[in-house]
Amino acid sequence: MESTAPVYTLAEGVPYASATTAQHFGGNNIKGLMLLQDTQLIETLAHFSRERIPERVVHAAAVGAWGEFEVTHDISEFTDAKFLNGIGKKSKVLLRVSTVGPERGGADTIRDVRGWGMKIFTEEGNQDWVFNSIPVFFVRDPIKFPSLNRSHKRHPATNQGDSTMFWDFHNNSPEGIHALMHLFGERGTPKSVRHLHAFSGHTYKITKEDGTFHYVKVHIRTNQGIQNFTNDEAVKMAGEAPGIHGADLWEAIEKGDFPSWTVSFQIMKPEQAESYRWNIFDMTKIWPHADFPLIPVGKLTLNRNPSNYFADIEQAAFSPSNMVPGWAPSADPMLQARMFAYNDAARYRLGVNYQQLPCNRAVSRVYCPFQRDGKMTFTDNYGGDPNYVGSDLKPIQYTGKVGAHAYAIGGHEEWVGRVVGFTSEVVDDDFEQARMFWNMIGKEEGQQDKFAYNVACHLGSAIPQVQAKALDMFSKVYPVVAEKIQSNINVLKSKKA
């Protein structure tokens, strides 16, 4: 019987008799000098040195899988995005769930926010949802984002994670107190990515072609139920099974135990935004469910493991700027900054033609002849079609009425205001939702104590001056929060002594 095994060749297709022999020069049984004409050896070594691409500056470590998004409820009165219209409609999805701080290979269970990069391949191009596992964020001024992340990573001199620098940053950006409360709650150390919720955090717009629009926040809630490690369990797992989240997801999908999530929207009318208690463009704030209940929209299911991690997950590029007609940005400054940053990062990390990679390529037809050439173009590059706009030589059809974003992008910018130099200031109201969070976890026996212990494990190793300022910040939530953290620090200190 003829073998179906692949025939080994070099990368240019030339067959070779062995993958391990090399050409040597030397007599007397001494084999050592090697030849520049040995293409197999040289190509093998040269390719190996170039195997790595730059890792993501944040969210470098991740797990991922393929799946589908299915519409379960009709929301056509709010948006004409086709992937959201028609109960039962399914779109292919690529999901990448990451930790934020660690480099590639970092332990899965460390206390961190989880990132949620989700590409929905729709008939109108790619819709990306680049979300987090907490509903609020640590800063609301995008210029602080690089500093926030450096403070969570390695000290520039010692190259170690450093709780002093972490708390020093947060002490001086207390608008992030609500996000800190989430990070140090039980959900900061999830058991697996199957047991996570995800949130848009930002306010987006959902729009109709007639120009009407609503503000929206997206919630993706796990149907497996929330499950978390305690702080100490998570620390232990980081040593014993650093890749536990990847293994867990892979095995579940391999067994056919497909994890799923319920996708819901909170929807607000533009008039409501004008008088709402919280600034809807401030991503340190949620909209309480009592004010804006969750409206179910669809179901996300993961059902296929990547066939190759590098090709499908490492090369994936998600961006909040990938939006289909019917979906639009709001005036949230963080979102505006992100709409630049991700494509910029992808061009650096993957090259200018990253949209052509199989994991990123739209399933709908793409015709964008005014972006062509560049490193690693591997389509026909639009052949001889005009490469300048406004040609009669090859007519092009356009869709939609409103230019820039095909359909309506909503409106309301006149309400948002005028151009000014701006940095936000922290006021007492910034602590209000942290108080709500504290009271909420107080309803479950032991949660407040666990929270205080979790903070103490981290804050306890910061220098005294920084510790004192962090405790001062927590005392503005309620004095008892700081007191509980302080007494946990004292206990940990005496144990160590």
Contact stretch for ligand HEM (CB under 6 A) within 69-77, 152-160, 204-212, 333-341: 333-341
Q: What are phi and psi of 265, to 5 degrees?
A: -115, 145
Q: Which of 121, 137, 166, 184 binds ligand HEM (CB under 6 A)?
A: 137
Q: Which of residues 241-280 bind ligand HEM (CB under 6 A)?
A: none
Between 42 and 362, CB nearer to ligand HEM = 362
Contact stretch for ligand HEM (CB under 6 A) within 57-65, 402-410, 421-429, 483-491: 57-65
Q: Which of 81, 216, 249, 317 binds ligand HEM (CB under 6 A)?
A: 317
* H/E segment holding residue 24: strand 24-25
Q: Cβ(261)–Cβ(220) under 8 Å?
A: yes
Phi/psi class of residue 46: alpha, beta or left (left: φ > 0; alpha: ψ in -120 to 50)? alpha
Nearest to 448 by CA among 137, 228, 174, 186: 186
Tell me the C-alpha distance between 60 and 54, whole Å.
10
Q: Which of 71, 75, 84, 130 binds ligand HEM (CB under 6 A)?
A: 130
Does residue 183 belong to the site contacting ligand HEM (CB under 6 A)?
A: no
**Between 193 and 222, how does the x/- string for binding to ligand HEM read (CB under 6 A)?**
--------x---------------------
Between 213 and 354, CB nearer to ligand HEM = 354
Is the CA virtual torsion 216, 279, 407, 386 positive or negative? negative
Give me 285's structure tokens.
């704030």
Size of the site for ligand HEM (CB under 6 A): 28
Does residue 101 belong to the site contacting ligand HEM (CB under 6 A)?
A: no
Q: What are phi and psi of 402, to 5 degrees?
A: -105, 20
Choosing from 126, 132, 353, 454, the catalytic residue is 132
Active site residue 155: no
Q: Which of 34, 41, 85, 142 binds ligand HEM (CB under 6 A)?
A: 142
Active site residue 59: yes
Q: Cβ(26)–Cβ(33) under 8 Å?
A: yes
How far apart are CB 314 and ligand HEM at their closest, in Å?
9
Annotated binding residue 342:
yes
Buried/exposed code over 253-286 (b: 16+ C-beta within 10 A; e: otherwise):
beeeeebbbbbbbbbbebeebeeeebebbbbbbb
Three-state secondary-structure class, residue 178: helix
Q: Which of 96, 153, 217, 285 binds ligand HEM (CB under 6 A)?
A: 96
Q: Which of 63, 234, 334, 457 binds ligand HEM (CB under 6 A)?
A: 334
What angle, 0 to 180 degrees and rounded to 10, lies between the N-to-C axes of helices 447-459 and 231-240?
A: 50
Residues with Cβ within 8 Å of residue 45, at least 6 apart in sequence: none
Does residue 73 belong to the site contacting ligand HEM (CB under 6 A)?
A: no
Contact stretch for ligand HEM (CB under 6 A) within 8-16, 131-139, 247-255, 487-495: 131-139
Between 287 and 453, CB nearer to ligand HEM = 287
Annotated binding site: 342
Catalytic amino acids?
A: 59, 132
Annotated binding site for heme: 342
